[in-house]
Amino acid sequence: MFASAPAPFFTDRLRELILHWLLRWLVHNERHHAHAAGRFIVLAWIGFLGMPAYYSIWTYWFPQEFESLTLRLIGAALCLPALAPGRLLRGRFVNAYLFIAVTYVLPFQFAFMYLMNHGSAVWSQSLLIALTVLFHFRTRLALSACATGSVLACALFALVGEPAFMLSPTVLEQLPIYAFTIVAVSVAKAGRGALAREKLAGMAHGLASVSHELRTPLISVEANVRGIHRRITPPAQASEADWQAMADAMARIQYEVRHMNHMIDLFLLSASAVEQQLEATEEVSMREVVESVIRRYPFAAQSQRDAVSVDIRTDFRFAGKHELSVVILLNLLRNALKALHRAGKGRIRIVVDGRPDTPRLLVIDTGCGIAARNLPMIFQRFYSYPPSSGAGIGLALCKDIIDAWQASIRCVSRELGYTMFVLEFPRVPAPPPPH
């Protein structure tokens, strides 16, 4: 038989251990789960397993005044779709699902249980933990979920409980503590964001400086190669094959110099994009973006260019910025070419399809693919796989730009098979025909 009432020392110690473990977990997992959706997958496992587990704890081990299996099962069910996001969550439904699930599981359920248990120590500290977890999400999501969940919890309690209790000292004296928790977590999160932006800006400045420093010797090399090529004459004793080999070597040097100059242009474009205002200010043609990228990309050889095909099914226009659109596609194309190089095979297909209700751009490669365990993290800043393959800012920058334009980007991949990036844009009305 379990004890009918908990020993005060034991339950206080248990709550302290739970709070300490959860806060420690959040800190140590910040690096790997900085992206809200990725972090929610891990929290969903905790919610899915914790809902029935804590029903048993607070019902049988340390009985509380009020428990509800129905509320717990609804919370566990809301966590289920996040455990298989690639199958159940797609496109525009992700944000709606995230808001509903976070609102119910954290502020609504914890606030309602706190009120129904008349502000018990267990539920006052549980609500504090819920607010700490909630405000590790994006601030806008956290604030809207907190407000919505709290209002719904109070409304339901007013219907089934004692409305006067909400104005009792037991409740009111907790409000400053909860407000301080929200402010403290938000300030700490803002500080981490500022450090990340400073690091990103530093990388951009460093990249720009190195690129400019490389430009001067490359110009010198190219000028000297052109001069040598003009002045040198084939010696009488040299065979035709030797002379042709030397001419080919000169041409190859010139090609490599041009390639490096194009790469520097790409680096400078990406570096400048980091510090630009991302908001949409132009109406952009996707066909023009694709054509510009294919024209500007520094393909290493003709065979690399031949591996890329473009399918313009129907052009469409979207609200964005032309140069930032070029940055996005340049990054996706560069990643696809790397995937082909690592796999030693494959092709790349760029599809512009403005026919659906949601116009889209597809970038598909049949290279090495992405492992399922790495897929949730590819849009995280400073994450790269393999670890030595880059600084990890390309896809994160693409995601930031796309989000600023109210569009979406997602990735579908099978390891050793293919990778497909799907970019979906709000439709811009077609311009009226000329009179």
Look at residue 237 in the predicted model and tell me its pLDDT: 58
418 three-class SS: strand
Question: Contacts for 122-127 with beta carbons within 8 Å, 24 or more apart?
Answer: 122/11, 122/15, 122/58, 122/62, 122/64, 123/64, 124/174, 125/15, 125/19, 127/174, 127/178
CB 426 within 8 A of CB 407: yes
Q: Does a cis peptide bond (omega within 30 degrees of 0) precede residue 386?
A: yes
Run of H or E residues at 411: strand 408-414
Q: DSSP characters for 287-336?
A: HHHHHHHHHHS--SSHHHHHTEEEEEEE--EEEE-HHHHHHHHHHHHHHH
Question: What residue type is 398 in one-letter code?
Answer: C
137 three-class SS: coil
Look at residue 15 in the predicted model and tell me its pLDDT: 47
- Residue 64, φ and ψ in degrees, nearest 5: -105, 170
Look at residue 186 in the predicted model and tell me its pLDDT: 85
Question: What residue type is 419 in one-letter code?
Answer: T
User: Measured between alpha carbons, how far is residue 246 from residues 222, 241, 259, 308 in Å?
Assistant: 16, 9, 20, 31
Q: Which residues make beta-bridge pairs with 285?
A: 317
User: Measured between alpha carbons, how far is residue 353 from residues 350, 360, 425 in Å?
Assistant: 10, 5, 11
Give dist(CA 284, CA 321) in Å, integer.
7
Give dist(CA 91, CA 89) in Å, integer.
7
Look at residue 270 in the predicted model and tell me its pLDDT: 60
Structure token pair of residue 240: 């035709």
Question: Residue 74 half-sphere exposure, CB side, CA atoms within 13 Å?
Answer: 13
Smallest CA-to-CA distance from 415 within 371, 379, 373 is with 371
Class of domain 280-435 as given by CATH: alpha beta
**What is the pairing mode between strands 418-424 and 408-414?**
antiparallel
413 three-class SS: strand
Cα-trace Rg, the chain:
29
Look at residue 26 in the predicted model and tell me its pLDDT: 42
- List the helix and strand counts (H, then E) for the chain: 15, 7
Q: DSSP characters for 349-397?
A: EEEEE--SSS-EEEEEE-SS---TTTGGGTTSTT--SSGGG--S-HHHH
Unique residue bearing structure tokens 């995937």: 339
Give dist(CA 206, CA 213) in Å, integer.
11
Domains of the chain, by residue range, sit at 8-173, 201-275, 280-435
Give dist(CA 263, CA 274) in Å, integer.
17
Low-confidence ranges of the chain (pLDDT < 50): 1-12, 14-15, 17-36, 91
CB 85 within 8 A of CB 41: yes
Look at residue 129 in the predicted model and tell me its pLDDT: 93
Residue pLDDT, tens place only, 293-345: 998 887 877 888 999 999 999 999 999 999 889 989 988 998 999 899 899 99
Sheet holding 308-314, edge to edge: 308-314, 348-353, 360-365, 418-424, 408-414
10 three-class SS: helix
